[in-house]
């Protein structure tokens, strides 16, 4: 659906390329890293995933909005994307769970939308030249003014965005806050309740729900928490969450991971940014991918075992940067052979680069939560 008869909005990339289209959602201008997501479903979860903080998302699926927005599937309340770019958006909602249209939700959350552009052409540019900053504007800024704004905007490399999306205070997450369907999980009831401390670098609600469905009482702590604060809760396990930005800049999280790994007898699990922080804590290095992995069908595996995974990240661990005697690689991304999983040798510590909570995405990797729980139960 077009919100006007004439093109009234534009995207300008930092390399100077312009796309003109139709505005929807909120009006104004936003600057962020322009990335693309190849998923065919789950736009609500994507837009509210804190890992996309500071970014403008291009959806490759040609029509977005026909299922509206509900009150259950958002991954966070406040940490949402800056803007979205779509080929077509639908204001005609047809879904029994929907409570508000995409257009109205964008207006309420001050998210700028751009439709009616050739998203295939845009994605081909991002694949060739890499993700880059861009500006969407519905105003009358000139081309030169927009380029000047882009020159002054910070690049993703070097940004510690985890501290911007992390909770500022501790809070508890228990089964009463998880989705109803999780109550039927066969693994939920344990004789002993398991206490998990989750370090919030931009944690998704669905991850907390999966932990709860496996019988974990989770205490969520800010990203700047120190070792004494974490250990004061006597946890059975420690979880390092997903999050946005450059992992090498999250110095507090890296130092905390180093100290916890040195202790070595506490079960630990990391997802996405948490996985990268584990790699850095083990002495490894990370680097920025050209255009990242953002979608729901990325194959990962090793030794003839393959999982179809949901991914959302722009950085990766350098393959040869972690000594083999310290950690083993458990998964590769089979599209480009980047590191997708690791396990610390002789310690109950592992991590993956993808999202086993499957919101959105396939459920192939849900067993990883069970593995985390099993490691904790072995040490109870």
Q: How far apart are CA 178 and CA 180, in angstroms?
A: 6
The CB density around residue 143, as the number of other CB atoms within 10 Å, is: 11
CA distances from 191 to 55, 124, 210, 215, 261 (A): 43, 53, 18, 10, 28
Q: In degrees to the nearest 10, what's the CA dihedral of 286, 287, 290, 292?
A: 20
Query: Residue 349 corresponds to which tokens in the numbers above?
Result: 């510590």
Q: Is there a catalytic annotation at residue 272?
A: yes
Query: Residue 248 corresponds to which tokens in the numbers above?
Result: 């090498």
Catalytic site residue from 14, 163, 216, 272:
272
H/E segment holding residue 199: strand 194-200
Q: Is there a catalytic annotation at residue 357?
A: yes
Closest CA to 258 of 238, 243, 242, 272: 238
Q: Is there a catalytic annotation at residue 300?
A: no
Residue 52 phi, psi (nearest 5): -95, 5
Q: How far apart are CA 203 and CA 219, in angstroms?
A: 12
- Those residues whose C-beta lies under 8 Å from the C-beta of residue 55, and which sit 6 or more positions away, are 32, 33, 34, 35, 81, 82, 244
Q: Which residues does the annotation mark as catalytic?
A: 272, 355, 357
């Amino acid at each position: 659906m077009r919100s006007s008869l004439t093109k009234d909005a534009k995207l300008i990339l930092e390399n100077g390329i312009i796309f003109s289209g139709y505005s929807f959602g909120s009006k104004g201008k936003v600057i962020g890293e322009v990335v693309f997501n190849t998923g065919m479903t789950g736009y609500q979860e994507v837009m509210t995933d804190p890992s996309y903080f500071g970014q403008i998302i291009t959806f490759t699926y040609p029509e977005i909005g026909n299922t509206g927005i509900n009150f259950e599937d958002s991954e966070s309340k406040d940490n949402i994307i800056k803007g979205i770019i779509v080929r077509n958006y639908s204001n005609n909602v047809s879904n029994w769970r929907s409570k508000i249209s995409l257009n109205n939700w964008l207006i309420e959350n001050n998210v700028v939308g751009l439709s009616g552009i050739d998203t295939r052409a845009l994605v081909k540019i991002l694949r060739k030249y890499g993700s880059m900053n861009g500006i969407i504007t519905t105003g009358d800024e000139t081309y030169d003014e927009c380029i000047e704004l882009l020159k002054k905007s910070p690049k993703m490399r070097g940004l510690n965005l985890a501290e911007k999306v992390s909770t500022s205070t501790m809070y508890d997450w228990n089964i009463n806050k998880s989705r109803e369907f999780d109550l039927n999980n066969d693994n939920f009831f344990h004789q002993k309740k398991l206490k998990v401390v989750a370090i919030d670098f931009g944690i998704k609600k669905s991850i907390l729900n999966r932990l709860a469905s496996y019988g974990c009482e989770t205490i969520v702590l800010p990203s700047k928490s120190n070792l004494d604060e974490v250990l004061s809760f006597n946890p059975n396990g420690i979880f390092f969450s997903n999050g946005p930005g450059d992992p090498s800049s999250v110095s507090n999280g890296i130092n905390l991971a180093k100290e916890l790994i040195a202790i070595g007898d506490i079960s630990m699990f990391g997802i996405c940014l948490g996985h990268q922080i584990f790699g850095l804590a083990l002495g490894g290095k990370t680097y920025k991918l050209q255009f990242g992995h953002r979608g729901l069908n990325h194959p990962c595996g090793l030794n003839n075992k393959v999982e179809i995974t949901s991914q959302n990240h722009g950085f990766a661990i350098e393959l040869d940067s972690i000594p083999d005697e310290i950690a083993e690689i458990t998964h590769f991304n089979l599209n480009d052979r980047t590191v997708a999983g690791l396990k610390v040798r002789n310690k109950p510590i592992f991590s993956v680069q993808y999202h086993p909570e499957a919101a959105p995405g396939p459920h192939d990797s849900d067993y990883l939560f069970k593995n985390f729980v099993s490691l904790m139960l072995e040490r109870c």
